[in-house]
């Protein structure tokens, strides 16, 4: 009998895992799927732990992705994820909160540890069709928050997928990425791009 190995997800910059989150989507496909949520906000991590209590197939790691070794070396990650096997690493709406050097370094760190056949998932803010005035107001708002916003150009975001083969439809408006949900409007205005890459 062929045993199908369960899938693993490392969701970095996870936010609070509410309805329809990664573990729910993953478990709908594979009840044995393992999910590690990572966030540097202690309030998010505390809520996440409370919501996921009693899981066993999910874990929460409070860590700053700019110190990626604290994620990989965490006993929670080690207990749920085996880097010798393909996994999915998610950076959904988080890379735009760190500067170029950190973003490149963190993605490269995981790329070097991911087994071939692993997937990289990125959603990233960009300028899209927003006016210069809206953009500068948006940046000003983020400057007053815990992290500034770096709305990189699409070509720059695509560079994070170096070494990966983009899965169709490629790096597109996140609302259009295989959108077969009637309740999700097509096109976000192009200011959040999403893509999935398979490690070669």
C-beta separation of 116 from 199 below 8 A:
yes
For residue 92, state whether it binds ligand SAM (rule: CB under 6 A).
Answer: yes
The C-alpha atoms of residue 21 and residue 187 are separated, in whole angstroms, by: 21
For residue 13, state whether it binds ligand SAM (rule: CB under 6 A).
Answer: yes
> Using the rule CB under 6 A, which residue among 83, 97, 177, 191 binds ligand SAM?
97
- Kindly tell me which of 8 and 96 has the beta carbon lying closer to ligand SAM: 96
Question: Is residue 193 classed as helix, strand or coil in its secondary structure?
Answer: strand
For residue 192, state whether it binds ligand SAM (rule: CB under 6 A).
Answer: no
Contacts 24+ apart (CB under 8 A), 40-47: 40/64, 40/65, 41/146, 44/14, 44/15, 44/16, 47/16
For residue 104, state whether it binds ligand SAM (rule: CB under 6 A).
Answer: no
Largest CA distance in the chain: 61
Sort 153 into a burial class: Cβ within 10 Å, 0-12 / 13-18 / 19+: exposed
For residue 125, state whether it binds ligand SAM (rule: CB under 6 A).
Answer: no
Per-residue mark of binding to ligand SAM, 148-187 (x: CB under 6 A): ----------------------------------------
Number of residues that bind ligand SAM (CB under 6 A): 17
For residue 15, state whether it binds ligand SAM (rule: CB under 6 A).
Answer: yes
Binding-site ranges for ligand SAM (CB under 6 A) = 13-15, 38-41, 44, 64-66, 92-94, 97-98, 147
């Amino acid at each position: 009998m062929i045993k199908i190995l369960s899938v693993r997800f490392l969701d970095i910059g996870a936010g609070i895992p509410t309805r329809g989150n990664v573990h729910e989507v993953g478990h709908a496909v594979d009840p044995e799927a393992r999910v590690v949520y990572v966030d540097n906000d202690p309030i998010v991590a505390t809520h996440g732990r409370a919501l996921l209590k009693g899981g066993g197939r999910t874990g929460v790691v409070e860590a700053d992705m700019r110190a990626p070794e604290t994620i990989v070396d965490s006993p929670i990650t080690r207990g749920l994820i085996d880097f010798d096997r393909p996994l999915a690493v998610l950076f959904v709406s988080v890379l735009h909160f760190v500067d170029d050097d950190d973003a490149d370094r963190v993605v490269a760190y995981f790329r070097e540890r991911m087994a071939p056949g692993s997937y990289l998932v990125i959603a990233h803010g960009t300028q899209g069709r927003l006016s210069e005035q809206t953009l500068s107001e948006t940046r000003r708002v983020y400057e007053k928050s815990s992290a500034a916003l770096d709305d990189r150009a699409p070509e720059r975001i695509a560079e994070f997928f170096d070494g990966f083969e983009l899965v169709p439809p490629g790096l597109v408006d996140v609302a259009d990425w295989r959108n077969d949900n009637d309740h999700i409007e097509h096109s976000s205005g192009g200011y959040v791009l999403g893509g999935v890459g398979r490690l070669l």
